Structure 1
């Protein structure tokens, strides 16, 4: 198997990057970007990672963990995010999560057809976890080996009225007529400060692409997310093994204290666990003590627990010998097995 030589990415010469064009939308030209890290000793498998809202790929430790295991690691910056954001675009906006299927499909072609990977793990964080679950349910590609969902956004956090039928109707009505109407909200920036190394965190990334105060949320975008939630809640049929990682606890507030570094302060982890089994027939949910919203950006002790859980799950359900793996997948297809 040979990989096409590509340009070096901003993450360094080990990371290759390519940008591909997508059909234009009402704002003009659209692109997506695929970043690749090749392993020194490839095992023939690959990972495709999809980021969350107000985010992009900079997770070099996560990529290296997979590459050290022999997987070719791919990460996509979706349209209007990170490397793919253009000046004429409304950052991070789509009116339907299915719009992302276009670039995921093109990345999938590159991974499976051009680069020859026959077994691929799909990884998604937060909104990306919701998106890849919907994509896997819709597409069901033969090469899909497993899903790894890192704090997937499975329901609307906050007061119960935000999840009421009346709110859903209002979103549908306003989202149809005024999709780019901004939803007022107060963002403290605490979560960003727990991450970025210049503000109390450990990680270095571009604050123009992942701002401390997140991004504006528009009615049309939130309508798209809530429609994705409704589809998930009705039950998806993803048949490959799925791992859902989350923090053990949530905490909400504006205090940059210890809880901010050891809890999910973005989503309600009880909702993540509640809806995890709605992804498919074979779901394992693991809560990581001390983890943050992006589990693989947590403090070292919590990250170690997360990687240990991922390693255990991969060995149990994904990296079995091919003949045993086929038997297990067949059993998963025959019944509704949810862990």
Structure 2
């Protein structure tokens, strides 16, 4: 784990990303904790600054955390306040969950992340921002619309970056997976049903020739066990989304233009973009779908010019749809 200051519950403290970022602990029901990160130049300091009208909250994916300062800076340059959350058991909030006997990166039911987003939204609204946009990536792109559907009025718009709307397997394999995790999830919730493929994470990291320098303990470079109960809750959530969420707020869904198994930097090598294209209209009544040619699974970590196109597409959409 990286060296970082001792946490002070509820107080902003220096963050691992450097002087432009601060973090604070978000106490959650049952003694759990998440971590809220803010981009200091774009957020109010409590000393008389007028807060930006619109704030964006970034929600990461599975076995991941917020380490995207270029995204924060890009949004700030267009007048948006930026926050990120490390959900319970992830990244900056890893230690608290493990110390309490939980598993890193996983919970029995991802519906509990609604509590994390509730706490983050409350903190952001308390800072004086009038509008809240939630930007979810991958698993965060599944959690965010389900939360918005369950909590009408808390988000004013959603941006979904390669949302995990379906398991990336054939129909027959998906059906077999559902049967397996439904059984094991009930009787052996910590049974290992698969392992996270780490080739994509390695391809991104500088130590393997990529562009990005992130903490390998928080975005693993080694195969990571996936437990039955967690997998069951993800699949149930995906089926819930597939039935239709009927959100009435504006939603932007973005994906690469291609999927593959081994072109990690210029295609989505984790998920199937066809699933995203198919499911996007089921999120709500006002959904825009955009493909980013040459985009990676996390479009924000794509090589240029795909990365720049992704950020420009998000910013132009926000300017037009979230006044």
**Contact 1:42-1:70 within 8 A present in 2 as well:** no
Alpha carbons of 1:162 and 1:204: their partners in 2 closer, same or farther (altered >3 Å)? same
Is residue 199 from structure 1 mapped to residue 205 from structure 2 by the alignment? no
How far residue 318 of structure 1 moved from its aligned partner, in angstroms, is 2.1
**Contact 1:46-1:117 within 8 A present in 2 as well:** yes
State the match for 2:57 in structure 1: 48
Q: Map of 1:1-339 to 2, 5 A cutoff?
A: 6-24=12-30, 29-39=31-41, 43-86=52-95, 87-88=98-99, 89-112=102-125, 114-141=126-153, 144-164=155-175, 167-185=177-195, 187=197, 189-213=198-222, 215-253=224-262, 259-319=263-323
TM-score (norm 2): 0.89
SS at 1:48's partner residue? Answer: strand
**Contact 1:150-1:245 within 8 A present in 2 as well:** yes
Alpha carbons of 1:160 and 1:180: their partners in 2 closer, same or farther (altered >3 Å)? same
Aligned length: 303
TM-score (norm 1): 0.85
**Contact 1:38-1:67 within 8 A present in 2 as well:** no
How far residue 270 of structure 1 moved from its aligned partner, in angstroms, is 0.6
State the match for 1:331 in structure 2: none
* Alignment partners' CA distance in 1, 2:223 and 2:69: 21
* Alignment partners' CA distance in 2, 1:84 and 1:5: 15
* Alignment partners' CA distance in 2, 1:216 and 1:280: 33
Unaligned runs of 5+ in 1: 254-258, 320-339
SS at 2:264's partner residue? Answer: helix
Pairwise CA RMSD of aligned residues?
A: 1.8
